[in-house]
Amino acid sequence: MNAKALLARINGLIEKADHGAIDEVETWHQQGLACIRAIYSDKEIEDTFRHIRFYPYVVDVMGPGPTDAESGMFEREGIAEAVSQLEGARTFLEFKLPVDDAELETVARETPVSHDTGQLIDRIEAHIITGQVERMTDMNEWRSRSRLYLKLVYGDPSSEVYRFEQIIWGANGVGSSGFLEVGPFKAPLPEPPRPGFGEAIAMLQTALEEIEMGLVPFAYYDQAIGPGSEFHSLVVDAAGNLIRDGHFAAAAKAAAAAIETELKRLLDRPNAKAFALVGQAFSLDAPEPDKKRLRFPEFDQPGTPEEQRTNAHLGAMHFGQGCVQRIRNLYTHGQKVTDAEALEALTSISLLARWVEQAEVVHFEEDA
């Protein structure tokens, strides 16, 4: 966590409140909640801040709603309560991690944003704009995509994804004709209400803030395909876009197909089936005129114990054939798997790709 950036963010939120410069109180509240969550490990403190209300309760939904004066007073009270809690959090942070106030002016964005994270930011920003300015033709698709982005930022399970799933969306009139017909009369309907969109957009905007400030506790996106990634380049090249979009099962399938293509190229067997191809590659049998082998130099030297040579090559063969049958084949035929399992499958395929890269192609040699 970048303590200086976090302190600067809290100061900025308080300053907005002090100067009456809060554009959207819901977004401001979500940003404040992100700061509270980053500072405290106490769930009760987080929940207290989360449950601050900025709008009056409506008891009689059929009766007159609150007046503008009542709504304004309720909002001001909610903001005052939130500011009080943010000030307490700021004091706690300053006491725990003292920071020179003079440094805060240059701290707004200390954590660099990587190229790949920048792409994720662009995607989320475009998605927010879609939710703000366009009338949804498919609310479920927009909602699913929102959940995906939150999952990429925070991980799943996470409290953020759980909170998103608790949003009450309700009916929003999407897909209606846009007109009310009564007898011979036809009048345009007002733009349908969009329950849930405001809260979802606020959460996405908060996620953007946390990505840029380096406050997110987990962002699989960068860990998978960003700088320093441990995935093999063959996996990243074949499935990077699918990983970016959170389609992990499809990514595993694409990565497995890329391994198969690479083996066909190395062994010059363009028409071989994947299972047989892996068996040929790591078989301990000597190469044949039309069957090249893959050998690990470390375990194929004169004097290498036969048990080690067998374990290395047959182990890779059975592991690879397991990837073909258990991952590639089943995923291709639509097996439903969790994201966690799909990510583990990607890791397995990446390991197989690394072994293929480490091995050397051995050709058939005729006796002199």
Verify that 254 and 206 share a domain, yes or no. no
Q: Within a domain: residue 274? A: yes
44 contacts: CB under 8 Å, gap ≥ 6? none
Domain edge (last residue) among 70, 87, 109: 109
String of b and e for 151-186 (b: at least 16 CB within 10 Å)?
Answer: bbbbbbebebbeebeebeeeebeeeeeeeeeeeeee
What pLDDT is attached to residue 240?
79
Burial class (CB in 10 A: 0-12, 13-18, 19+), 119: middle
What pLDDT is attached to residue 98?
47
Q: Within a domain: residue 215? A: yes
Q: How many CB atoms lie within 10 A of CB 143?
A: 19
Q: Within a domain: residue 132? A: yes
What pLDDT is attached to residue 282?
95
Q: Within a domain: residue 367? A: no
Domain edge (last residue) among 60, 94, 109: 109
Verify that 315 and 332 share a domain, yes or no. yes
Q: Within a domain: residue 225? A: no
Question: How wide is the angle at C-alpha 15 spanned by C-alphas 9 and 20, nearest 5°?
Answer: 130
Verify that 130 and 195 share a domain, yes or no. yes
Tokens describing residue 354 = 């690394």
pLDDT digits (tens, 9 = 90+) for 53-62: 887 654 444 5
Verify that 131 and 209 share a domain, yes or no. yes
Verify that 264 and 289 share a domain, yes or no. yes
Verify that 90 and 119 share a domain, yes or no. no
d(CA 181, CA 174): 17
Verify that 71 and 158 share a domain, yes or no. no
Residue span of the structural domain in which 200 resides: 111-172+191-219
Q: Within a domain: residue 201? A: yes
Number of folded domains that form the chain: 3
pLDDT tens across the length of the chain (368 residues): 467 777 888 888 998 888 888 888 888 888 888 888 878 777 788 888 888 888 765 444 455 666 778 778 888 888 988 988 888 888 777 665 544 444 333 333 333 444 456 667 877 888 888 777 655 556 777 887 788 788 778 776 677 888 888 887 754 433 334 455 556 666 554 444 456 788 888 889 888 887 777 666 444 444 554 444 568 888 888 887 777 666 788 888 999 999 999 999 999 998 899 999 999 999 999 999 889 999 999 999 888 899 999 999 999 999 999 999 999 999 888 788 887 788 889 989 999 999 999 999 999 887 53
Verify that 316 and 339 share a domain, yes or no. yes
Verify that 12 and 128 share a domain, yes or no. no
Q: Residue 50 phi/psi, 5° resolution?
A: -60, -35
- Given a contact cutoff of 8 angstroms between Cβ atoms, the answer to whether 111 and 212 are in contact is yes
pLDDT digits (tens, 9 = 90+) for 229-286: 568 888 888 887 777 666 788 888 999 999 999 999 999 998 899 999 999 999 999 9
